[in-house]
Structure 1
Amino acid sequence: MKALAWHGKHDVRCDTVDDPEILNPRDAIIRITSTAICGSDLHLYDGYVPAMKPGDILGHEFMGVVEEVGAASTLKKGQRVVVPFTISCGKCYHCEKAQFSACENSNPADKHDIGREGLGQPMSGVFGYSHMTGGYSGGQAEYVRVPFSDVGPLVIPDDSVEDDKVLFLTDILPTGWMAAENADIEPGDTVAVWGCGPVGLFAVQSAFLMGAQRVIAIDHFPHRLELARQFGAETINFERTKVYEALQDMTGGIGPDACIDCVGLEAHGAFADNIIDQIKVSTFLGTDRAHVIRQVIMAARRGGRVSMPGVYGGFVDKFPLGALMEKGLTLKTGQTHVQKYTRPLYTAIAEGKIDSTFLISHRMALEEGPTGYQKFHDEQDTYTKIVLKPGMAGSASLAA
């Protein structure tokens, strides 16, 4: 089969590799119909995530049709499914508490030391995202093996609901929703969202659905800011305006009730971080640019809430721990418990309460994936989201 594989920094190739096979009774093989390039994939592309090996198959946002199942799978051949990026057993202590991204059994034991060294405990399994998260092959391919297929995949029963409407249930829509949920939004709140990428835009939409009176979106790409305004957000262009001062002015000197960091470790704006992140990338030390989370903590009102869905992978310098404590802020973080949200969010999509298609700017053939990575990396204001279609004719019309 064909698959997009990582071969080093800024080196993604479309390789021919072996088809996946059933390895365990709860496995299923999915034929991919749609897959997407995620902002988190750019962390791999830029070389900020350790434990990648040349030839690793990328991709954690995908859906498709069941082709083969193991003896203990509850799926049936021919079913159309959306697959969460988090691999979860459904039966461990954390899964039973609906903390699916903290699953104890999805990361093979021989991979545990990688996560334990940098994070204190092994990470849970994730598709296509380094050997720190299990070394699983991802879904930017024609086929993928899905472990614990009786737990993760959501069957889409209505063939009239096209892929574009439900594909983002795999990651970015639940991530934006959980980001807003972690901000403990109350009716009438003012919520500030840093980053108008896919997760940030879904967080804006979710915050309004949860009762926020005002949402202030912060970015520097004009088109992304325009998308945020289409949902009713006020906007700040951080290249033209000092964010802290603007938020103080917009909130009468109080600060936002809730602040959401949808940027993470590749934030723009702090020169010292940009130098440090070139030192010891492979050891977790100094790899994260913490500019946004610093700004978030300083901007939030006293007694406010901070939600951090943006991905961080290592250690940071000059973290405003005093402000976090003295202001009495609540901080909630974590990878998304996708399985907890897929069904209710699917219902919201089917009822027309959530639009998940506005984000797609380009559709490309799987073979064009290397170009897609380069474009998504270099032209983020134009390429807001790329959906890859195995079997699609190449060089298409790149525009949606």
Structure 2
Amino acid sequence: MKALTYHGRRDVRVESVPEPHLLAEDDLLLRVTATAICGSDLHIYRGRLPGMRSGDILGHEFMGIVEEVGPGVTRLERGDRVVVPFTISCGDCFFCTRRLLAACERSNDGRGTLMNRKRTRSGAAMFGYSHLYGGHAGGQAEYVRVPRANVGPLRIADSTLRDEQVLFLSDILPTGYQACLNARIGPGSTVAIFGAGPVGMMAAACARWLGAQRLFMIDEDPRRLAHARETCGATTLDFASVDDPADLIIGETDGRGVDASIDAVGFEAKGSAIESALTRLRLQGSSGAVLRQAIAATRRGGVVSVPGVYAGFIHAFLFGDAFEKGLTLVGGQTHVQALMPVLLEAIASGGLVVDTLVSHRLPLSEAAAG
């Protein structure tokens, strides 16, 4: 089959590789009909994530048609159309039974976190996202093996829903939604979202759906800012021309700041050769510029919600400011499986419209260019 494979920093290729096959009784084999390139794939592409090996298949946002199921699969059958969450969870460990599925302690045979593999258990395994997260082949491919099929894939029974309407249930829509839940957004909330990329825009759509009254979005890409204004009615700030967005936001909120800020950027995907070398030593870091702005823009007693991926150190992290303001800081990987059903219902009813985000459509053969 054809698949997008990793071969080093800034070197990914569409190649012919062996087709996958079932390895466990609760595996299924999926024929991929749609997949997406995640912003966090750029961390891999630019050499900012350790644990990658030459030939690894990328991709953790995908959906398709079930081609084959193992004898232990009870929830799905051949021919079903499903969306697959980016994490792989067992469903019955300590964390899964508490609906903290991204913290599954059985699906990943890696050890520890990005920074310290001795001190803590790994979280859930992920598709196409390094051997720190299990080394599972990803979905930027014609076929993919999906483990733990009784827990992860969500069946899409409504044939009127197009792939582009439901594909983002695999990652970025639940990630944006969880960011809003963590931020305690409800009717009348004021919210600042840093980063108008895919996760930021999903967070904005969910914030409006949950009743947010005032929405600020900060980015430096004019197209994204225009999209935020047109689709979410956001007040936009250009980080390239505004030195201190937080100061402007405070001025627009009676001198207090917003109820919640969402950091939908995380650590920078751009990285020099030196930073890539530090990554191999697990000394990767972030400038912390966005997180400092989020802390500054949030009122006393508010929440800073962090769906953006971080790894390692943050430079000049103003924890003193967060402490003095009594802020709640919440982050972590998304518990996708727990959130998919309610979001699917919202899409089907028209409450959430997310396919306007799609800007480019490419065949798999052009994945490297994408």
| Superposed pair shares fold, TM > 0.5 | yes
Number of the residue aligned with 1:377: none
Equivalents in 2 of 1:206, 1:53: separation in Å?
A: 36
1:344 alignment partner AA: V
Change (3 A) 1:119 1:131: farther
1:112 alignment partner AA: R
Number of the residue aligned with 2:247: 245
Cα displacement (A) at 1:184: 0.6
1:83 alignment partner AA: V
Number of the residue aligned with 1:30: 30
Aligned counterpart in structure 2 of residue 343 of structure 1, from 336, 341, 344: 341
The normalised TM-score by structure 1 is 0.88
Output one character per residue of 1:316-348: Cα deviation in whole Å (capped at 9) or x when no partner. 222111111111000110100000111111110
Q: 3-state DSSP class of the match of 2:258? A: coil
Map 1:223-262 onto structure 2 (within 5 A): 223-230=223-230, 231-241=232-242, 242-262=244-264
Q: 3-state DSSP class of the match of 1:228? A: helix
Equivalents in 2 of 1:113, 1:304: separation in Å?
A: 31
Equivalents in 2 of 1:35, 1:360: separation in Å?
A: 12
Number of the residue aligned with 2:208: 208
1:222 alignment partner AA: P
Asked whether the equivalents of residues 118 and 284 of structure 1 are also in contact (C-alpha less than 8 Å), the reply is no
Asked whether the equivalents of residues 46 and 269 of structure 2 are also in contact (C-alpha less than 8 Å), the reply is no
Q: 3-state DSSP class of the match of 1:257? A: strand
Indicate whether 1:154 and 2:162 are aligned.
no
Cα displacement (A) at 1:187: 2.3
2:307 alignment partner AA: P
Asked whether the equivalents of residues 113 and 120 of structure 2 are also in contact (C-alpha less than 8 Å), the reply is no
Asked whether the equivalents of residues 65 and 81 of structure 1 are also in contact (C-alpha less than 8 Å), the reply is yes
Equivalents in 2 of 1:309, 1:119: separation in Å?
A: 23
The normalised TM-score by structure 2 is 0.95
Equivalents in 2 of 1:267, 1:370: separation in Å?
A: 17
Asked whether the equivalents of residues 113 and 121 of structure 2 are also in contact (C-alpha less than 8 Å), the reply is no
Change (3 A) 1:82 1:165: same
Change (3 A) 1:311 1:184: same
Change (3 A) 1:278 1:149: closer
Q: 3-state DSSP class of the match of 2:361? A: strand
Asked whether the equivalents of residues 80 and 157 of structure 1 are also in contact (C-alpha less than 8 Å), the reply is yes
Change (3 A) 1:103 1:113: closer
Question: What is the RMSD computed on CA atoms of the aligned residues?
Answer: 1.7
Q: 3-state DSSP class of the match of 1:192? A: strand
Number of the residue aligned with 2:306: 308
Q: How many residue pairs get matched?
A: 366
Number of the residue aligned with 2:330: 332
Cα displacement (A) at 1:86: 0.8
Cα displacement (A) at 1:113: 5.1
Output one character per residue of 1:271-315: Cα deviation in whole Å (capped at 9) or x when no partner. xx9898456121222432311112211221111111000000111
Number of the residue aligned with 2:40: 40
Q: Which runs of 5+ in 2 are unaligned?
A: none
Cα displacement (A) at 1:114: 6.4
Asked whether the equivalents of residues 267 and 291 of structure 1 are also in contact (C-alpha less than 8 Å), the reply is no
Indicate whether 1:93 and 2:94 are aligned.
yes
Indicate whether 1:163 and 2:174 are aligned.
no
Asked whether the equivalents of residues 186 and 212 of structure 2 are also in contact (C-alpha less than 8 Å), the reply is yes
Change (3 A) 1:344 1:172: same
Runs of 4+ in 1 over 2 A off after TM superposition: 113-121, 273-279, 286-289
Cα displacement (A) at 1:123: 2.7
Equivalents in 2 of 1:122, 1:196: separation in Å?
A: 30
2:16 alignment partner AA: T
